[in-house]
Amino acid sequence: MLYLLGVNLPDHKPVPIALQQIYGVGPHTSATVCHKLGIHPRCRLSDLAEDKVTKLSALLNTMTIDAELKRETKARVGVMVQTGRYRGARHKAMLPVNGQRTHTNRRTAKKLNGRWVRDFTSCTSRSPLAQTPVPLPPTRASPLSFAKSILRVLPRVL
């Protein structure tokens, strides 16, 4: 097995198929990479010369794949959750995001969508009332003094 970019690639498979083991590399991307490097689509990974493997590694290093792609995706979902968008709320609730039905596939969506939201469990509020602290009542003061302190804060909020 060839260890490339943190992924063990199977030697016995053709190069375009083996490259699809890397997260973010699909059939189209793997075929494009093989075409750029002049690798025949049926060539096995074990038959590649050392210089082709080096060129392949250099080309894949320039692409956004694997851990970097996962980090970007998680950041995008986090922005959706924190800004309060509908898709972010669906991600946070671990429900289908793109308009799929919920009657029969909620369980699958809960498995898939939950992995992107684990760090973004709280949504920040953008309202001015949430940003202004309300004073606590003094320990031995009358309710009238507490009402006056609230009235002092309200004009700043409104």
pLDDT tens sequence across 51-61: 999 999 999 99
Whether residue 122 lies inside any domain: the answer is no
In a shared domain, residues 98 and 53: no
Closest CA to 31 of 14, 6, 48: 14
In a shared domain, residues 85 and 53: no
Q: What is the DSSP string of 56-82?
A: HHHHHHTS--THHHHHHHHHHHHHHHH
pLDDT tens sequence across 40-90: 999 999 999 999 999 999 999 999 999 999 999 999 999 999 999 999 999
Share of the chain above pLDDT 70, in %: 72
* 56-60, 117-121, 142-146: segment of lowest average pLDDT: 117-121
Task: Quote the number of domains for the chain.
Answer: 3
The residue range of the domain holding 139 is 128-157
Nearest 5°: the CA angle 26, 30, 32 is 120
